[in-house]
Amino acid sequence: DTEVTQTPKHLVMGMTNKKSLKCEQHMGHRAMYWYKQKAKKPPELMFVYSYEKLSINESVPSRFSPECPNSSLLNLHLHALQPEDSALYLCASSQRTSGGLNIQYFGAGTRLSVL
């Protein structure tokens, strides 16, 4: 089983709202990732968690706040977003971050629209 589950599938929010995206995996993976994908573009890495600790922040604005409460769960908290933040947000997980164990499996994504 290589399933990564993301909720919600779709989200519409205003620029003053606070919302959260959720990602779960039960494969025993210890690395989890957030990506942002704009239409007709490849995914762009936002954050990497390794063993529940934030290891990489790719210069993402502070209106995006990641959280890893445990090894199976990854959240992305959203606040005061801009219309240009509208995109598909993808979560991925892998056994580890390095070497041959870094095979990333993706969820179906949350399609976010900011009005």
Partner 1 sequence: GDSVTQMEGPVTLSEEAFLTINCTYTATGYPSLFWYVQYPGEGLQLLLKATKADDKGSNKGFEATYRKETTSFHLEKGSVQVSDSAVYFCALIAGGTSYGKLTFGQGTILTVHP
Binding residues vs partner 1 (CB under 8 A): 2, 4, 6, 31, 40-43, 45, 48, 50, 55-56, 88, 90, 92, 94, 96-98, 100, 102-109
CB of 78 to partner 1, least distance (A): 19
Q: Strand ranges (DSSP E) for the chain?
A: 4-7, 10-13, 18-25, 31-37, 44-50, 53-57, 64-70, 73-79, 87-94, 105-106, 110-114
Q: Which is nearer to partner 1, 31 or 81 (CB)?
A: 31
- Structure token digits, residue 71: 């090894």
Other CB atoms within a 10 A radius of the CB of residue 109 amount to 21
Q: Which is nearer to partner 1, 19 or 111 (CB)?
A: 111
CB of 16 to partner 1, least distance (A): 28
Coil, strand, or helix at residue 100? Answer: helix
Q: Which is nearer to partner 1, 2 or 82 (CB)?
A: 2
CB of 13 to partner 1, least distance (A): 20
Q: Is 66 exposed, middle or buried, given 0-12, 13-18 or 19+ CB atoms closer than 10 A?
A: buried
Q: Which is nearer to partner 1, 81 or 92 (CB)?
A: 92
